[in-house]
Amino acid sequence: MTDIAIAEGANLRVDRVRAATVRHALDVPLQFGRWRITHREFAVVRVDTVDGASGFSYGLTRDGPVAAIIARSIAPVYEGADVAHPSALFRQCRATAHAVLSSGAGLRAISLVDVALWDALARQRQQPIVELLGGRPTPRPVTSIIGYPAVMTPDQVHEEVLGLVSQGWRQFKAPVGPERELTIARLKAARAAAPDGWVGLDGNYSLHDIDDVVDLEGRVRDLNLGWIEDPLPQGDAAAMARLRERIGTPIAAGDDQGGAYFPDALLATRAIDVLRVDICANGGLTGLATVVEKAKVAGIPVSPHMFAHFHTRALDGLGVESYSGEWGIPGAGVHPMDDALEQPVVVDGVMEPLAQEVGFGRVVSPRWIADQTVDDPQGALEQLPDDVCVN
């Protein structure tokens, strides 16, 4: 793995590692093929150090037992550890239960703990995470996730994109609709509203097979889509490579994956044009550094999956030169835990850097969480530090 260079300083001694689960019920369920989403569930992770620093992270559970895995398989390794570099403890912990922590819900769990420990280190040193990593905050292009819920009509999508264009947005990504014809009509509506903009399609793993994707891509090729994301269920890089040979639209994939062969299989088979990354699912900040370096060596650009409060700061800190941030429209159900946090300032398609406060900044909204269904048996959300909270 790639080591992240940081200046030497006092070690951290981990006191407690805790996780709470926060569930947000969606007003309108999301339907992607057979995948029906009635809620968005997040794990909020807290790492407390002996000297009083507290680091935080959050991410989607995808309905996996993230909090339980943290309590059973990760906290016993982290608690009491004397930490000079968070990456070393990440590797040590994963090696204790590699079968569990190398993929799926287990990798999500250790990813979130890793992010929270990096946050704690930056807060202990009173530095923004970008500064701790040796980078600098930089304005970046940004993509708005549109068309949620996926039953929005083409006219509604058209009006939504027109409104976003007037607010300075220039890049837009829509999910597949519940029906093929609706998907196509929605993409056409988005393109009509933004004739010179970037428009992408998120397949959400819901397309049936290679021929199915080829048919859809052929019908929308004249729209000049920026990419088709996650067109096939994950796990078969060779099939994705065959698909890439048959279509003219770029393929993006990887954000919801991870594990012992990520991203190596996608890169080795030349299955993708853009590598999607997710700090909450690909191995935390420790794993993100490795994934970004592998993509750079392969000559493949990276694109982060939502979580802009973490991704833009982490990628800027790691010195990634070119990427676009990604944002869900508040209230649409795309990523509701972000809705109460700092929102982007966008000018002609470019997002100004988010506030550079200590650590990853203010990534918890107690007021929003109070309105959700919360399972917090260890009190991770009690006595929250002021510098992590949105007022």
Would 341 be classed as within a structural domain? Answer: yes
Would 302 be classed as within a structural domain? Answer: yes
Is the same domain home to 271 and 150? yes
Is the same domain home to 125 and 138? no
Find the angle CA(179)-CA(228)-CA(105) to the nearest 5 degrees: 90
CB neighbours (10 Å) of residue 112?
Answer: 30
Is the same domain home to 228 and 141? yes
Is the same domain home to 302 and 223? yes
Is the same domain home to 94 and 165? no
31-81, pLDDT tens digit by residue? 776 778 889 999 999 999 999 999 999 999 999 999 999 999 999 999 999
Is the same domain home to 80 and 107? yes
Q: What pLDDT was estimated at residue 329?
A: 87
Amino acid at 306: M
Look up the CATH number of the domain holding residue 176.
3.20.20.120
Q: What pLDDT was estimated at residue 114?
A: 98
Tokens representing 309? 């409060």
Would 381 be classed as within a structural domain? Answer: no
Is the same domain home to 43 and 104? yes
Owning domain of residue 66: 12-130+361-372
Nearest residue to 128 via CA among 377, 359, 367, 293: 359
Would 325 be classed as within a structural domain? Answer: yes
Residue in this structure with the two tokens 């287990």, named with its chain if needed: 106
| Strand, helix or coil for residue 363 | coil
Is the same domain home to 113 and 187? no
Q: What is the mean pLDDT of residues 314-319?
A: 98
Distance CA 117, CA 28 (A): 35
Cβ(74)–Cβ(113) under 8 Å? yes
Is the same domain home to 67 and 200? no
Q: What is the mean pLDDT of residues 353-379?
A: 97
Show Cβ contacts of residue 263 under 8 Å, excluding neighbours closer than 6 positions: 254, 257, 275, 291, 294, 295
Distance CA 73, CA 295 (A): 30
Is the same domain home to 158 and 201? yes
Would 292 be classed as within a structural domain? Answer: yes
Position with higher pLDDT, 333 vs 387: 387
Would 384 be classed as within a structural domain? Answer: no
Would 86 be classed as within a structural domain? Answer: yes
Domain count within the chain: 2
Is the same domain home to 45 and 79? yes
Is the same domain home to 296 and 255? yes
Q: What pLDDT was estimated at residue 140?
A: 97
Distance CA 390, CA 312 (A): 18
Would 159 be classed as within a structural domain? Answer: yes
Look up the CATH number of the domain holding residue 40.
3.30.390.10
Provide DSSP, 100-147: HHTSHHHHHHHHHHHHHHHHHHHHHTT-BHHHHTT-----EEEEEE-S
Q: pTM of the prediction?
A: 0.96
User: What is the pLDDT confidence band of residue 339, given thresholds at 50, 70 and 90?
Assistant: very high
187-219, pLDDT tens digit by residue? 999 999 999 999 999 998 888 899 999 999 999
